[in-house]
Structure 1
Amino acid sequence: MKPAAEQATREGRRVRAVDYDLGDVAGAALHADGCQGRARAVVDLDRETLLGVTFVGAGVAELLHSATVAVTAEVPISRLWHAVPAYPTLSEIWLRLLETYRATSSG
């Protein structure tokens, strides 16, 4: 686990951190040649909401507003599935994070 997930665990929360390479989304190729970066979502497993989201890389500023809304409004993961990002853009990272979370869920 990384620092944010470790902190949440110390606070007694059950969490899962989900990572995805920003360069692996289709929109990355349109953004820049060799676009690289990383995204991480920390999910509260009991409430199925996001505790935090981190983006690292060029052009990630466009992703921050949606992360702020999702975290502060405590939007359930089940609702985030309906917020389909434009394709192909860097915002596709949201769909890939959700898919990765779903693939690693135990239930």
Structure 2
Amino acid sequence: MGVVTYKGQPVEGANVMFSPTTQGQGVAAMAVTDAAGKFTLQTAQGKPGAVPGEYVVMITKTEMVPTGEKVPKPEGGMEDVMTTKHLLPEKYRFPSSTPLKVKIEEGKVNEFQFNLED
């Protein structure tokens, strides 16, 4: 479990993904942050927590925004063309660029504070 902040403020609705740094050592785990920026991991198999191992951490948050273009709707009228807007710095989106790395240790309280910056 842990907390995600961006520029000192809690981030609500961020997707947090722990991906094993070494193939076969660990299992991917994910979570979504609440209004206080807090998250509790669960594995892809739906089990709570994360298995021991070393992970890179990706954190993303997106919203859909209009592009300014309009297209005809099948039932008539026009609608906005939408695109995905990333609300957190790009470096946290990919395993190759994220600076966030953690180690989950068995038998210990594994809590993480991720303070994202531009």
On whether the aligned pair clears a TM of 0.5, the verdict is no
- Which structure has the highest strand share of the two? 2
- Which structure has the highest helix share of the two? 1
Larger radius of gyration: 2
Q: TM-score, normalised by structure 1?
A: 0.30
